[in-house]
Chain A
Amino acid sequence: MKCDHCGAELGLLDKVCPYCGSVNTQSGEHQREQEDYEKRSRKMTESLRGHIAENVPLVCSAILLFLLLTGILTAGYLGEKAYDLVNRVNAQKAADHYEENMQKILQYLDDKDYIGCLAFVQEHDLKYCAAYDELWRVWDLCGYYENAVNAVEELAIHGTDTKRLMAEDDIAFRKVDIATFYEAYGFLTEGQQDGYQKYMDGMKEQVDVILRIYLGLDEEKREKYLAGSENEQAAYLEEVLIDE
């Protein structure tokens, strides 16, 4: 717009002419429109802020819900896979220390410490490492050996004043470990001839000695015992182990 007095160009909101100083009578309406616009703009901003403030807790809660669900699924997946992951890490460690571990294992076996060998294998998770697969039959038999030895020790060694309330049940339960060792020896050594055979034979020899000393089973009696039924085996053990 132009100044009424000097004709200079004026801005819409100029109240006075910057050149001649006279009052701009045309700016009033524009001024009012501008103020009205600013007022509406402020109102809208406040209304928007109000809406946002009202919904923030709900939005935060929804985000938290989503995060917790994701966390639960992740934790569940980790829980399921953790065992495999740990096994894989341990298997890799076992493979990296193959020479050292094999030396120790053979030392145990040469010393006829079969339970020590098994403990070493379990402690280092060697069972899950493919590098040691050649020894799986030995370890398997070590497990049966330990069970058989424990069975005889637990059944045979007790005080004279022992009040064994469930002796028959103990015998019924533990006699299986003795028979199972011989079955395992049979199928683990069947058709196999390798450098580890002597260790498996060593385990059997030791169990034979244990049965002879603590159950009175020499070679002949042992074969008869193992060929007998479960009831016959239980009857023999009850006769030998349960005091009158």
Chain B
Amino acid sequence: MNKKMIFRISVCLNVILAIVFMIAMIHAIKQIDRNWENNKTWAFVDILIEDKLKQEEYGWMGAQTRPWRYGAKGNEDNREYYELGEYTDLLFFREIYQAAGELSKAGACEERLKELKVELDGQSGILNKMEQSVEKAQKE
């Protein structure tokens, strides 16, 4: 094996190691960037939310969009879906607060529902369906 051959082998090795090094660095940076974890969790919600709306899985929308209302970063393009989810969630909790006698919290839900109704005025059909579904879900 002459020097030229050894040099060529070392160049190939260096190319491979350079690729491995880049992957290792990206992995390390992702580990340090904690936001990456939160965004990863949200990715499946954004993928499924449109289908869930078509399937009328309003409860799923209400529950799974809740992290966005508590500060998780979502996809701005899906804002309307998140707000539809919020509408269901508020309907769900309003009944709970009323039954528990927490009228001020029920009132706060009512206020926010009115705001959302105005913001989502193009979705009145879906909002009505959501209201019907929460009403139907009550067994008491």
Contact = CB atoms under 8 A, between A and B. Distances in A.
B139 interface: yes
B28 A158 contact: no
A235 B2 CA distance: 77
B31 A79 contact: yes
Interface of B is mostly: helix
Contacts of A64: 14
A210 B96 contact: yes
B139 A216 contact: yes
Contacts of B11: 61
Contacts of B62: 153, 157
Interface of A is mostly: helix
Contacts of B1: none
How many interface residues does chain B have, given as a range?
35 or more
Contacts of A82: 28, 31-32
Interface stretch (A12-20, A66-74, A190-198): A66-74
A10 B58 CA distance: 112
Contacts of A61: 7, 10-11, 14
Contacts of B133: 157-160
8 shortest interchain CB distances as A-B pairs: A159-B56, A157-B59, A216-B139, A75-B24, A119-B70, A82-B31, A79-B28, A68-B17
Interface of A: 54-55, 57-58, 61-62, 64-65, 68-69, 71-72, 75-76, 78-79, 82-83, 85-86, 111-112, 115-116, 119-120, 123, 149-150, 153-164, 205-206, 209-210, 212-216, 240
